[in-house]
Amino acid sequence: MKVSWRTLPTVLLEDEVLDKAFSRAKKAADRVDDNDRIFRVRKQMNRMVQTAADIIATTFQDTVNLWPSLDQSPQFDVSMIDACVGCDDYRHHLSMLQWGGKQVLNIAGQNSKKIVRTGRTELMHDARREAYGRISSIMRRVGPSLMWLSKARETLKRLPTIDQMLPCIVVCGAPNVGKSAFISALSSGNMEVNHYPFTTKQIHVGHFDHRRLQHQLVDTPGLLDRPIEQRNTIELQAIAALENIGSLVLFLVDESEDCGTSLEEQEHLLQDVQRLLPGTDLMVVTSKADLLTPRPEKWDEVAASESQWREEGSEGEPELPLLTDHKGRVTMSATEFVGMDAMRLEIVRRIKIARPNDPMELPEGWYRRDQ
Ligand SMILES: Nc1nc2c(ncn2[C@@H]2O[C@H](COP(=O)(O)OP(=O)(O)OP(=O)(O)O)[C@@H](O)[C@H]2O)c(=O)[nH]1
Ligand SMILES: [Mg+2]
C-alpha cells in the first residue's frame, strides 16, 4: 500500500491535450476512404469530432481515476495532501476534469448530429469547425485545473513514501544533532532522500528489518526545528500528519552543543514537540555519545556486547545493555556505531508495546518458509 502519488504520470496541459486530440482526429479522418464525396466528407468530419472528444474525455477520466480519491485515502495521505496542496483544491480541480470531459462529449454528440443530418459538405465542415471551437473553449476553462494538477503532482511526488501498515519511527530534534547520521547508521540498505515541499532540506527515510517486520525511520528536517510560534498552519498540519504515522517519536538531543543550538533551546524544542504530538510515545535520545565528556560509563561494556552479538549473527532479541548518559537518557554514537544495536532492540520493544496486536507480526517461534 505505497502512496500512489509517487507514480502519477505527467499531467498534460491545455495545449498539449488539444494538440494530441486534434492531431489524432486528423489522422482518423485521413484514413477515411469513400468514393462518394458527400459520404467521405461526412465520415471525415464525424470522425474528427468524435475522436477529438474521445481523446480528451479519456485523458481526463484516466487522470481522475489515477489520482487517489480522498475519501478512500488513509488519514496520513489526506493530511499531507491538505498540508501540501489543499484538499478542497484537490477535489475541485479533479472535478473540473470530470466536468470538462462530459462537456466535450456532449458537444461532439450535438455536432455529429448536425453533420449526419445535412447533405451539404460545407455545412459539415462548419459543424466540425464549430465543434472544435466549442471544445477549445471548454479546454480554456479546464486549463487552469490541468496546470494546478501538474504542479500538485510535482509537489506530492517529492513526499516520503510511508507504508502505514508498517511501524514508523519519526526522528526529530534541532538541526545538526545527527538525525540523518542516526537513520543511516540504523538502516540496512540505502536511505531514500525526499522532501517536504515547504522545506528545502532533504528528508531521509531508512528501514531496518526485525523478525521480518520492516521498520521505517523518517526524518523531520525543518518541520520541528523551530519554536511553535514561528510555524505556519501548513507545517503544523504536516506535523499532525506525522502523529498519525509515528509508532514512536525519537527526539535527539546533542549534549555537546556541537550542532550549534544551545542545550536550553533544544529542551524548549523538546517541550514543543511533546505538546504537538501528545498521543505519540516519545523517546529522548542523547546523540553523539562519543563527544560526551566523560564518556558514558558503560561505553566499553555496550561496545563489547554489541560486537559479540553481531559476531554471533545478530539473532534473537537479547537484552543488550543500553548506553546511557549522566542524566540517565539513552545515548548512542552513530559515527562510532556504539549503542546502536542496543537502541534498535529498545525501539523494537517500545513499538511492540505501542502496537500490541500487530497483525503483521508473526507469533513467537514461528517461521515462514516462503521467504
Ligand atoms: N562525533 C559525532 N558526530 C556526529 C554523530 N552523528 C552525527 N554527527 C555529525 O553531526 C553533523 C550533523 O549530522 P547530521 O546527521 O547531518 O545531522 P541532522 O540532524 O540530520 O542535520 P539536519 O538534517 O541539517 O538538521 C555531521 O557533521 C555529522 O558527522 C555522532 O554520533 N558522533
Ligand atoms: Mg539531516
pLDDT 10s digits, 226-267:
888 888 888 888 888 888 888 899 999 999 999 999 999 999
Ligand 1 site, residue 181, Cβ cutoff 6 A:
yes
| Inter-residue contact 160 to 38 (CB < 8 Å) | no
Ligand 1 site, residue 335, Cβ cutoff 6 A:
yes
Using alpha carbons, list the distances in angstroms from residue 156 to 73, 77, 112, 193. Answer: 14, 10, 40, 14
Q: Where in the chain is the domain with CATH 3.40.50.300?
A: 168-354
3-state secondary structure of 189: coil
Using alpha carbons, list the distances in angstroms from residue 367 to 119, 213, 345. Answer: 77, 12, 19
Pocket probe mutation, ligand 1, options 170, 176, 220, max atoms within 8 Å of Cβ = 176
- Choose which CATH entry (3.40.710.10, 1.20.120.1190, 2.102.10.10, 2.30.42.10) describes domain 4-156: 1.20.120.1190
Residue-wise burial string across 48-84, b where 16 or more C-beta atoms lie within 10 A, e elsewhere: bbbbbbbbbbebbeebbeebbeeeebbebbbbbbbbb
pTM, two decimal places: 0.80
Closest to 347 measured CA to CA, from 202, 183, 203: 183
Could you tell me the distance, in angstroms and rounded to a whole number, from the CA of residue 34 to the centre of ligand 1? 75
Q: Could you identify the residue written with the cell 500490541?
A: 356
Could you tell me the distance, in angstroms and rounded to a whole number, from the CA of residue 171 to the centre of ligand 2? 10
| Inter-residue contact 288 to 254 (CB < 8 Å) | yes
What the block records as the C-alpha cell of 340 is 546502536
23 C-beta neighbours (distance < 10 Å), count: 13
Within the chain, where are the H helices? 14-30, 37-66, 75-84, 87-117, 121-156, 179-186, 233-245, 263-276, 299-311, 340-354
Ligand 1 site, residue 175, Cβ cutoff 6 A:
yes
Ligand 1 site, residue 221, Cβ cutoff 6 A:
yes
What the block records as the C-alpha cell of 136 is 477549445
Q: What average pLDDT values come out for the chain (371 residues) when binned by 10 residues?
A: 69 98 97 94 97 98 93 84 92 98 98 96 97 98 98 88 86 94 92 81 89 90 84 83 86 94 94 88 96 94 94 85 94 96 94 67 48 38
Q: Which atom of ligand 1 is nearest to the CA of 333?
A: 31
357 C-beta neighbours (distance < 10 Å), count: 5
| Inter-residue contact 296 to 325 (CB < 8 Å) | yes
Q: Quote the CA–CA distance of 226 and 75 in Å, as a whole number.
A: 25
Q: Quote the CA–CA distance of 363 and 72 in Å, as a whole number.
A: 31
Could you tell me the distance, in angstroms and rounded to a whole number, from the CA of residue 219 to the centre of ligand 2? 7
Q: Quote the CA–CA distance of 213 and 187 in Å, as a whole number.
A: 13
Q: Which atom of ligand 1 is nearest to the CA of 252?
A: 19
Q: Where in the chain is the domain with CATH 1.20.120.1190?
A: 4-156
Could you tell me the distance, in angstroms and rounded to a whole number, from the CA of residue 180 to the centre of ligand 2? 4
Q: Whose CA is nearest to atom 5 of ligand 1?
A: 288
Integer Rg of the chain from CA: 29
To which H or E segment does residue 204 belong? strand 202-210
Q: Quote the CA–CA distance of 173 and 181 in Å, as a whole number.
A: 13
pLDDT of residue 223: 83
CATH number for region 168-354: 3.40.50.300
Q: Quote the CA–CA distance of 181 and 221 in Å, as a whole number.
A: 13
CA neighbours closer than 13 Å in the CB half-sphere of residue 193? 5
Phi, psi of 204 (to 5 degrees): -100, 135
Using alpha carbons, list the distances in angstroms from residue 195 to 167, 190, 240, 282, 307. Answer: 20, 16, 17, 23, 35
Ligand 1 site, residue 179, Cβ cutoff 6 A:
yes
Please tell me what DSSP assigns to residue 303: H
pLDDT of residue 91: 97
